[in-house]
Structure formats: C-alpha cells, structure tokens
Amino acid sequence: MSVTGRLAPTPSGRLHLGNVTAFGCAWLSARSSGGRLLLRIEDVDSGRARADVEASILEDLRWLGLHWDERTAPQRDRDYEPWLTRLADRTYRCTCTRAELAGLGAYPGRCRDAGHTEGAVRFRLPDGEVDVVDRARGHRRVDPATFGDPVLRRRDGVFAYNLAVVVDDLVDGVTEVVRGADLLDYTAVQVRLWEALGATPPTWLHAPLILGPDGRKLSKSHGSAEIGAWREAGRTARDVWRLVLPWLGIEGTDDLEEAALRFDPRAIPAGPITTG
C-alpha cells in the first residue's frame, strides 16, 4: 500500500547518524511503496528552534539524497488550541510543580479530580493496554499508564510536542510514522490521542536505536557522528549510506534508490546498534 510518510526534524542540533537512520528509514519506506514524503519542522518548543540550525539540517538532508515531495507548515505556524478544545472532556488542569513530581516517575494523576482552573493541561489516559503494531517488530502490548497522563499544554501556555505531533500528522494526512525505537512503548500514548481525536492512527515503524561508543543514545554531544563532520572530512553521502543501510537491514549497496527496491521492514534489526 502506498504510504504518506514524513521527515520531521527538530532544529535543536545538527543532523547525526541517529536521525539519519530514522529519516533514511522513513524515506525508504515511502519510496519503496511508491508513496509520498512530507517535510515538517518540529519546532513547537520554539525556545529551542534556531533558523541557522534548521537551514543546516535541510542542507544535510539534501546532501544525503533524502528529498521530500512537499514541505508542510512548521509547528510554529500552526494553531493547536481548537484541537485542545476538542479534547476538553478528556483533559484536566494540573498544578503540580516539577519539584513535587521529582522522583515519582510516571505522573500519578493526582490532579485528575481536583477541578483546578489553571496549570498545565493533561490528557486523561483511558484504562487498558494498547496493541502497538510495529511494521518491523510486530505486535506489542503496552499499558500507556506506565508513562502517566501526558501534558498537552504546558503551564506557560506552550503546546506540548505530544499533542502537536499527533495533530500535525492527522492534518497532514500522514499514514506512516517512522521514529526511533526508544519511543516504541510511548507510541501507546500517541495511539490513545489519535483515538481521542476520533481518528485512525497511522502505521508505525521504529528504526533501531543508535548508540555512541559510550553506550549512550547518539546525540549532538557525539560530534564525530554529525553529518557536518563527515562532509567536512571529505566523505560522501554514499560513505554514510554504506554504514547506515545495514542498520536498516540492507546489505551490499550504498545507493538509496537501489536500497528502496530492496527495503523490507521485517529485515530491520531490532537493535540497538553501537557506532564505533
């Protein structure tokens, strides 16, 4: 079936091998199905967004050959209030401070029936497990309560990523979401939000988690994993794909178009993968 996928970078740091694995996976899945790929900047947390970083990410994506069909509105230009209103009977206000919640793990739902009229807006998770279906790993039953009721709008009025990403994918007509395997279980919470908005959730595909040599999730602190560093060292996009494609279950090619012909989500290793 032809899918509508998306590349949704957050302009908080330069592209690194971890993002490239997930974006490459989204690109291959969309292309292999003959589908479409959208580009959306995820900057709802506008305090972190930086125009120069955004430009560098787009440049790196093009350099890698990860072209998109259409650019949709960045989160900074979207209005999430009507969607929050639509969820009004499923939300409540929470006045707990960070200090009060420290060390508790998942939010214990203590403000659910308090009737507060100010504070953060939280979504009241319905009881019960969610059957998370991942195209690479199959079915997995997850109780979203493990994570506690998610915040949809912060106390300072900023809409939370949790709400924004679901609304964006719904509005943009995204039918497949590809993201890192560290978010696999949290997908159960996202599924609940889709259901609460009366929509059918997309299909999910989780790319392997990529770890640095120190065993921690790859991030901007691992400078040598940045695509910018590869470019400055005179490496090519094919050098990147020669390393990354096997992490997506594709051996013996460094060509993206060729890889798309061979892409099979069931061949993606469960990971995690440690970079040298």
- Nearer to Zn ion by Cβ, of 100 and 251: the residue is 100
- Which residues within the stretch 98-137 sit at the binding site for Zn ion (CB under 5 A)? 110-111
- Nearer to Zn ion by Cβ, of 79 and 113: the residue is 113
Q: CB 111 → Zn ion: shortest distance, Å? A: 3
- Which residues within the stretch 85-104 sit at the binding site for Zn ion (CB under 5 A)? 94, 96
Q: CB 186 → Zn ion: shortest distance, Å? A: 20
- Nearer to Zn ion by Cβ, of 157 and 215: the residue is 157
User: What's the order of all strands across the beta sheet hosting 130-134?
Assistant: 138-142, 130-134, 203-207, 176-180
Distance CA 85, CA 219 (A): 35
Q: Are strands 273-274 and 36-39 parallel, antiparallel or unpaired?
A: unpaired
- Nearer to Zn ion by Cβ, of 148 and 272: the residue is 148
Q: CB 95 → Zn ion: shortest distance, Å? A: 6
Q: CB 143 → Zn ion: shortest distance, Å? A: 20
Q: CB 113 → Zn ion: shortest distance, Å? A: 11
DSSP 151-215: EEE-TTSPBPHHHHHHHHHHHHT--EEEEEGGGTTTHHHHHHHHHHTT----EEEEEPPEE-TTS
Name every residue whose Cβ is closer than 8 Å to that of residue 259 and which is 6 or more positions away in sequence: 28, 241, 245, 248, 250, 253
Q: By CB under 5 A, how many residues form the interface with Zn ion?
A: 4
- Nearer to Zn ion by Cβ, of 44 and 111: the residue is 111
Nearest Cα to Cα of residue 78 among 180, 4, 8, 151: 8
Measured in degrees and rounded to the nearest 5, phi and psi for residue 96 equal: -65, 135
Q: CB 145 → Zn ion: shortest distance, Å? A: 15
- Which residues within the stretch 151-210 sit at the binding site for Zn ion (CB under 5 A)? none
- Nearer to Zn ion by Cβ, of 2 and 97: the residue is 97
Nearest Cα to Cα of residue 105 among 145, 160, 141: 145
Enumerate binding residues for Zn ion (CB under 5 A).
94, 96, 110-111
